[in-house]
């Protein structure tokens, strides 16, 4: 029995201080803000959020200011006995580097704020992960159809013409 007590105490001593040695990770939070905030209100809220998130040794990596977007579907939020329905919201994100133990505090802060309709926190990498310009599906299909028509008109196609056709199909 005495042996187990000493063992428990020593494990506690070994684990003491691990939180200080905890390795930082990069996280990103994406969020939807109430559309009734207006541009200035949304930016002010993000400043408040950054101030909270970036304390206690958390390091800022990057962000995108909130922009008003149309949602793909209506989001219903039930609060204080009433239902609010949103078909638009301010969308923004914040990337930061912190200890995993800080994430619970950040999550609690975000959940407690009525300005936030919805949010997500994910582990990510420090590097920029923004995808380039979206391809217009109509434009891409038009290019393919033009190439098909050109190929149907001529019975045989040379290697040079084939390369030119492929170059037309490649979207830069």
Pairing of strands 116-123, 59-79: unpaired
Q: Are 145 and 91 found together in one domain? A: no
How many beta carbons lie within 10 A of that of residue 101, not counting itself? 11
What residue numbers bound the domain in which 149 lies?
A: 137-169
The fraction of the chain above a pLDDT of 90, given in percent, is: 42
Rounded to a whole number, what is the distance in angstroms from the first to the last CA of the chain? 72
**CATH at 102:** 3.30.70.60
User: What is d(CA 47, CA 33) in angstroms, rounded to the nearest whole number?
Assistant: 13
- What burial class does residue 26 get, using C-beta atoms within 10 Å of its C-beta: 0-12 exposed, 13-18 middle, 19+ buried? middle
Q: Are 109 and 165 found together in one domain? A: no
Q: Are 88 and 165 found together in one domain? A: no
**What pTM did the predictor assign?**
0.62
User: Number of structural domains, the chain?
Assistant: 2
Domain presence at residue 129: no
Q: Are 53 and 83 found together in one domain? A: yes
Domain presence at residue 17: no
Domain presence at residue 11: no
16: confidence class by pLDDT, cuts 50, 70, 90: very low
**pLDDT tens, position by position, 131-156:** 655 656 555 555 555 555 555 555 56
Q: Are 147 and 81 found together in one domain? A: no
Domain presence at residue 128: no
Q: Are 74 and 151 found together in one domain? A: no
């Amino acid at each position: 029995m005495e042996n187990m007590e000493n063992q428990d105490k020593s494990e506690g001593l070994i684990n003491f201080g691990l939180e200080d040695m905890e390795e930082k990770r990069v996280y990103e939070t994406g969020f939807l803000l109430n559309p009734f905030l207006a541009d200035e209100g949304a930016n002010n809220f993000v400043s408040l959020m950054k101030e909270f998130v970036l304390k206690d040794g958390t390091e800022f990596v990057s962000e995108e200011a909130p922009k008003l977007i149309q949602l793909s579907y209506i989001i219903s939020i039930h609060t204080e006995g009433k239902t609010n329905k949103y078909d638009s919201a301010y969308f923004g994100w914040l990337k930061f580097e912190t200890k995993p133990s800080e994430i619970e505090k950040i999550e609690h802060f975000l959940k407690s704020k009525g300005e936030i309709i919805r949010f997500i926190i994910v582990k990510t990498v420090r590097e920029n992960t923004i995808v380039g310009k979206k391809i217009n599906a109509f434009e891409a299909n038009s290019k393919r159809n033009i190439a098909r028509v050109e190929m149907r008109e001529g019975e045989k196609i040379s290697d040079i013409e084939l390369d030119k056709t492929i170059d037309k199909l490649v979207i830069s």
